[in-house]
């Protein structure tokens, strides 16, 4: 008979490494696997072709590690954002990307946990994952009791909100699951759905083809002109559906919830005209060590054209910004996605 281990020491080891939350679930296929397959079939992944790869593994986490029986799930909290005004001529970035790259920070500490457990259980295997592994991690986090997934498809920790980053360790050990969170977080609330400027959200479902975060971070081609004005001043990512969520409102509990110091914002907003003029070296200097490196130089400049067009359409742009966009359109050596975005931006300008 397989020995089932108490989850307590594993959870505590994660908390000792500085994770805000930790829990354990089994490697059984998640209840959301069928919904995920339907989501893919409907084309909701958009240009994220990598979501289709290893889809069978996402539906069965046990395939990530031979003989896996348990998943230890962790979460880091980071400082969220508010819809405050930013300097004229600037663009904003999603809160999760403002500090150190969570992939490196979380994986390093997960590996430290794995090393500790490997010494204690030399017969067992462990695999640390962040979001680059084919795993339905929000489903795993929900099953491990870290929170519940809300209508905006984000994991919501009861009382403290959704500003969370997830990581996992799969293991061949049998560990008793931690209790699930039973409280459904949304009720009749639809603030996230109502606030989404591109109508990317429906209850518990996101259409990445319309999502500002996906369009600015994952889309390698042109951003559809129909979404240009809705993108507003978002250069990289989008926080709107989290900003309006009541669970992310300021309360005594949220004020006392600790965030990891490495996620303290290094870069908050960017001057759009400067981004339009970025070289490869400028990009590295500005965003090195953050998750913002996910977007290439051409993508950053494409996004800057979109935001610049919105700035000009609002009557806030300078003559030099207008001239820079015109220069991009006229430069045959510019990347096609940048020129296309500049053309759309010029079309947004008022006479």
Using one digit for the tens of pLDDT, what is the confidence trace for 170-193?
Answer: 999 999 999 998 788 999 999 999
- Tell me, yes or no, whether 18 and 42 share the same domain: yes
Q: Is 131 tagged catalytic?
A: yes
- The residue ranking higher by pLDDT, 174 or 62, is 174
Q: Which residues pair with 26 in a beta bridge?
A: 70
Share of the chain above pLDDT 70, in %: 99
Q: Which residues pair with 21 in a beta bridge?
A: 75
- Tell me, yes or no, whether 285 and 136 share the same domain: no
Helix (H) or strand (E) holding 234: strand 234-236
Instruction: Output the pTM of the full model.
Output: 0.94
- Tell me, yes or no, whether 110 and 171 share the same domain: yes
DSSP-derived pairing of the beta strands 90-93 and 234-236 = parallel
Query: How far apart (Å, rounded) are the C-alpha atoms in residues 46 and 52?
Result: 10
Of the candidates 293, 268, 262, 294, which has an alpha carbon nearest to the alpha carbon of residue 19?
262
Helices (H), the chain: 8-16, 33-41, 55-58, 102-120, 137-143, 191-195, 212-217, 228-231, 240-243, 252-256, 272-276, 280-287, 297-313, 319-330, 336-348
61 inside domain: yes
Count: domains in the chain? 2
Domain extent at residue 139: 4-80+97-175
- Tell me, yes or no, whether 47 and 104 share the same domain: yes
- Tell me, yes or no, whether 70 and 127 share the same domain: yes
pLDDT of 254 higher than 90:
no
Q: Which two tokens stand for residue 205?
A: 């479902």
- The residue from 175, 210, 226 where one domain ends is 175
186 inside domain: no
- Tell me, yes or no, whether 254 and 142 share the same domain: no
- The residue from 141, 175, 209 where one domain ends is 175
Contacts for 51 with CB less than 8 Å, ≥ 6 apart? 40, 45
> What pLDDT does 147 receive?
96
- Tell me, yes or no, whether 216 and 272 share the same domain: yes
44 inside domain: yes
Q: 113-150, pLDDT tens digit by residue?
A: 999 999 999 999 999 999 889 999 999 999 999 999 99
Determine phi and psi for 336, rounding to 5 degrees.
-60, -40
DSSP string, 105-133: HHHHHHHHHHHHHHHH-TT--EEEE-TTS
The one catalytic residue among 131, 232, 271, 282: 131
Q: How many Cβ atoms sit within 10 Å of the Cβ of residue 34? A: 11
- The residue from 175, 205, 240 where one domain ends is 175
Q: How many Cβ atoms sit within 10 Å of the Cβ of residue 344? A: 23
Q: Which two tokens stand for residue 176?
A: 């008793």
85 inside domain: no
- Tell me, yes or no, whether 233 and 137 share the same domain: no
- Tell me, yes or no, whether 158 and 272 share the same domain: no
Residue in the structure block whose two tokens are 């209840």? 31
């Amino acid at each position: 008979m397989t020995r089932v281990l108490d989850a307590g020491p594993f959870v505590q080891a994660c908390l000792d490494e500085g994770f805000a939350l930790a829990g354990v679930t089994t490697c059984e296929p998640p209840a959301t696997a069928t919904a995920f397959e339907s989501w893919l079939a409907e084309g909701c992944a958009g240009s994220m072709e990598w979501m289709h790869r290893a889809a069978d593994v996402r539906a069965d986490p046990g395939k990530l590690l031979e003989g896996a029986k348990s998943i230890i799930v962790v979460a880091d909290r980071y400082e969220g954002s508010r819809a405050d005004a930013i300097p004229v001529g600037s663009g904003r970035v999603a809160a999760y990307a403002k500090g150190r790259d969570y992939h490196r920070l979380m994986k390093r500490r997960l590996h430290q946990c794995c090393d500790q457990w490997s010494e204690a259980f030399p017969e067992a295997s462990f695999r640390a994952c962040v979001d680059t592994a084919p795993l339905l991690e929000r489903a795993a986090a929900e099953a491990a009791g870290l929170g519940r997934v809300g209508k905006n498809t984000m994991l919501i920790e009861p009382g403290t909100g959704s500003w969370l980053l997830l990581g996992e360790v799969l293991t061949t050990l049998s560990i008793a699951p931690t209790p699930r969170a039973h409280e459904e977080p949304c009720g009749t609330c639809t603030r996230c759905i109502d606030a989404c400027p591109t109508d990317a959200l429906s209850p518990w479902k996101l259409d990445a083809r319309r999502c500002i975060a996906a369009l600015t971070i994952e889309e390698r081609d042109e951003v559809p002109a129909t979404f240009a004005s809705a993108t507003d001043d978002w250069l990289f990512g989008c926080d709107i559906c989290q900003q309006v969520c009541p669970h992310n409102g300021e309360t005594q509990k949220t004020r006392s919830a600790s965030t990891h110091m490495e996620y303290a914002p290094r870069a908050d907003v960017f001057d759009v005209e400067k981004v339009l003029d970025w070289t490869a070296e400028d990009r590295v200097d500005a965003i090195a060590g953050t998750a913002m490196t996910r977007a290439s130089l051409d993508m950053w400049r494409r996004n800057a054209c979109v935001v610049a067009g919105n700035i000009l359409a609002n009557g806030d742009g300078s003559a030099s910004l207008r001239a820079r966009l015109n220069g991009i359109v006229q430069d045959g050596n510019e990347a096609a996605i940048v020129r296309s975005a500049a053309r759309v931006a010029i079309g947004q300008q008022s006479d």
